[in-house]
């Protein structure tokens, strides 16, 4: 959530930057400033009324002590009127504050200056590419056919048990899935991230804190009986560890990694581009999260991008990195880099990771602060990234490593799987 002082001081810049998202925020930003002025005016009236009431209360006590009962009772009538006034002002102030908060919740984060202008994913900028695209033999299969051929993932069984988008991993498929999770966690902890096991359901305050609510409630599975939400990513419980927390500057950066299943109600379309593991309602992901000093968060973002690159280099998968344009940027992000690997059998790029800097947007919602060198509380910056999302990584391995003899396991994973080939 944007800070009101920031909006007041940077109105034109914010409107200009939000235009990169194809949003004309002129009316909303102007309304924020008006609501804030009205809120502050009401607060000033309330403060003055309360101050006057307190002063008269003291005066009444002195009048009674001095025996001026009649004057004291008249003054008492005035304090009664002031109490009614303060009650009404409090109601008006709460209504104005709520209206301001509701409007602020609807305004997305301001894109960084280097975010390209654009409408769709076709306008994203490719900033890096690495890895040779393998040449497959004739008859190479997409991963959903390979999964059936080697009996390692059963999509029909998952559909029977739950519904579309909930696959069942079997045998070597399940072991490969577990191997990837362990490998990703080991890489992250070796890089200094502290491992956490996190809840898979969160309360409404957690969803609001990281920006999944109220913007994305339609994409989250809601457990209505307890008003809890199944997590769409470990970012939500992981970042909410620091909700309402004041850190010492010396504690920064804070780094976290964790594995969780993720649940998303994303409306699915039909066709090969969403078949198999390409789009799921339940999937596994290993996340990295950072809480950073504002002066170091973009250096940290570059470090996170470099970290994910090392994992893909070890897996020897062809990949590219995209800087997302304004129209494709997530609601809470100031700058996002997407990683995509090339699926040779599908002849298309598949997104496997997003690495983002949210600056103070989440921290303001979370009231996540640190005590700076001047002893003042200051909002921290939050960052997160997939390291990595498993379904499309697994799909890429199955498709890019297929041979006539079976699916070869990447060398770096073999100590985790305990086997070298799926045949």
Query: Confidence band (pLDDT; 50, 70, 90) for 271?
Result: low
DSSP structural state of residue 409: P
Indicate whether 275 and 242 sit together in one domain: yes
Sheet (strand 377-379) strand order: 246-248, 369-371, 377-379
pTM: 0.93
Domain final position from 81, 106, 131: 106
Taking the C-alpha atoms of residue 230 and residue 223, their distance in angstroms, rounded to an integer, is 7
Indicate whether 40 and 132 sit together in one domain: no
322 or 139: whose pLDDT is higher? Answer: 322
pLDDT higher than threshold 90 for residue 218: no
pLDDT higher than threshold 70 for residue 269: no
> Would 112 be classed as within a structural domain?
no
- Which residues are annotated as part of the binding site for L-serine? 233, 264, 287, 384
Indicate whether 177 and 256 sit together in one domain: yes
Query: Confidence band (pLDDT; 50, 70, 90) for 53?
Result: confident
364 or 270: whose pLDDT is higher? Answer: 364
Give the contacts of 421 (CB within 8 A, at least 6 positions apart). 405, 406, 407, 408, 409
Indicate whether 74 and 165 sit together in one domain: no
Taking the C-alpha atoms of residue 330 and residue 108, their distance in angstroms, rounded to an integer, is 8
Share of the chain above pLDDT 90, in %: 86
Indicate whether 97 and 128 sit together in one domain: no
Indicate whether 128 and 61 sit together in one domain: no
Taking the C-alpha atoms of residue 338 and residue 389, their distance in angstroms, rounded to an integer, is 12
Indicate whether 94 and 220 sit together in one domain: no
Indicate whether 257 and 203 sit together in one domain: yes
Rounded to 5 degrees, what angle do the CA atoms 392, 334, 339 make?
20
As separate numbers, helices (DSSP H) first and strands (DSSP E) second, the chain gives: 13, 19
Structure confidence at residue 282 (pLDDT): 96
Cβ of 185: how many Cβ atoms within 10 Å? 17
Q: Which helix (H) or strand (E) holds 351?
A: strand 348-359
Q: Quick check: 289 and 378 in contact, CB under 8 A?
A: no
Indicate whether 239 and 188 sit together in one domain: yes
Provide the angle, in degrees to the nearest 10, between the axes of the packed helices 171-190 and 390-400.
120
Burial class (CB in 10 A: 0-12, 13-18, 19+), 163: exposed
> Would 88 be classed as within a structural domain?
yes
Q: What is the dihedral of CA 326, 330, 332, 335, to 10 degrees?
A: -50
Cβ of 412: how many Cβ atoms within 10 Å? 15
Rounded to 5 degrees, what angle do the CA atoms 206, 237, 180 make?
150
> Would 237 be classed as within a structural domain?
yes
Give the closest residue to 304 by CA, choosing from 332, 329, 339. Answer: 339
Domain membership of residue 8 as a residue range: 4-106
Q: Quick check: 398 and 147 in contact, CB under 8 A?
A: yes
- Which residues are annotated as part of the binding site? 233, 264-266, 287, 351-354, 384
3-state secondary structure of 193: coil
Q: Quick check: 358 and 149 in contact, CB under 8 A?
A: no
Indicate whether 96 and 157 sit together in one domain: no
Give the contacts of 294 (CB within 8 A, at least 6 positions apart). 359, 360, 378, 379, 380, 381
> Would 113 be classed as within a structural domain?
no
Indicate whether 82 and 226 sit together in one domain: no
Domain final position from 83, 106, 129: 106
What are the φ and ψ backbone dihedral angles of 127, each rounded to 5 degrees?
-115, -10
Indicate whether 307 and 360 sit together in one domain: yes
Structure confidence at residue 103 (pLDDT): 97
pLDDT tens, residue by residue, 356-412: 999 999 999 999 999 999 999 999 999 999 999 999 999 999 999 999 999 999 999
- Which residues are annotated as part of the binding site for ATP? 264-266, 351-354
> Would 116 be classed as within a structural domain?
no
């Amino acid at each position: 959530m944007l800070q009101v002082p920031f909006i007041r001081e940077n109105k034109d810049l914010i409107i200009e930057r939000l235009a990169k998202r194809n949003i004309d925020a002129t009316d909303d930003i102007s309304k924020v400033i008006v609501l804030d002025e009205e809120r502050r005016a009401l607060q000033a009236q309330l403060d003055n009324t309360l101050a006057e009431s307190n002063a008269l209360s003291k005066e009444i006590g002195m009048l009674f002590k001095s025996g001026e009962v009649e004057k004291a009772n008249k003054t008492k009538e005035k304090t009664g009127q002031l109490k009614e006034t303060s009650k009404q002002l409090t109601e008006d102030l709460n209504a104005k504050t709520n209206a301001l908060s509701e409007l602020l919740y609807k305004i997305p984060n301001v894109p960084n200056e280097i975010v390209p202008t654009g409408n769709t994913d076709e306008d994203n900028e490719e900033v890096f590419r690495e890895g040779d695209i393998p040449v497959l033999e004739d008859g190479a299969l997409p991963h959903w056919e390979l999964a059936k051929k080697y009996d390692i993932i059963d999509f029909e069984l998952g559909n029977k048990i739950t519904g579309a988008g909930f696959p069942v991993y079997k045998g070597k498929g399940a072991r490969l899935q577990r191997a990837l999770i362990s490998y990703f966690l080991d890489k992250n902890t070796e890089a200094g991230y502290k491992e956490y096991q996190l809840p898979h359901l969160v309360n409404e305050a957690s969803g609001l804190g990281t920006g999944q609510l109220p913007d994305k409630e339609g994409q989250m599975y809601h457990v209505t009986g307890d008003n809890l939400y199944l997590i769409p990513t470990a970012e939500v419980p992981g970042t909410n560890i620091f909700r309402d927390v004041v850190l010492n500057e010396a504690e920064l950066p804070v780094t976290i990694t964790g594995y969780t299943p993720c649940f998303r109600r994303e409306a699915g379309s039909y066709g090969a581009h969403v078949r198999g593991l390409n789009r799921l309602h339940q999937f596994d992901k290993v996340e990295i999260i950072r809480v950073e000093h504002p002066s170091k968060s973009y250096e940290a973002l570059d470090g996170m991008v470099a970290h994910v690159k090392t994992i893909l280099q070890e897996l020897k998968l062809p990949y590219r990195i995209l800087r997302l344009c304004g129209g494709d940027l997530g609601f809470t992000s100031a700058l996002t880099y997407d990683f995509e690997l090339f699926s040779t059998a599908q002849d298309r790029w598949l997104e496997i990771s997003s690495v983002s800097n949210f600056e103070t947007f989440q921290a303001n919602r979370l009231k996540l602060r640190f005590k700076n060198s001047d002893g003042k509380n200051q909002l921290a910056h939050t960052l997160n990234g997939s390291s990595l999302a498993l379904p499309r990584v697994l799909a890429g391995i199955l498709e890019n490593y297929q041979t006539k003899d079976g699916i070869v396991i990447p060398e770096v994973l073999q100590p985790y799987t305990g086997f070298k080939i799926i045949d």
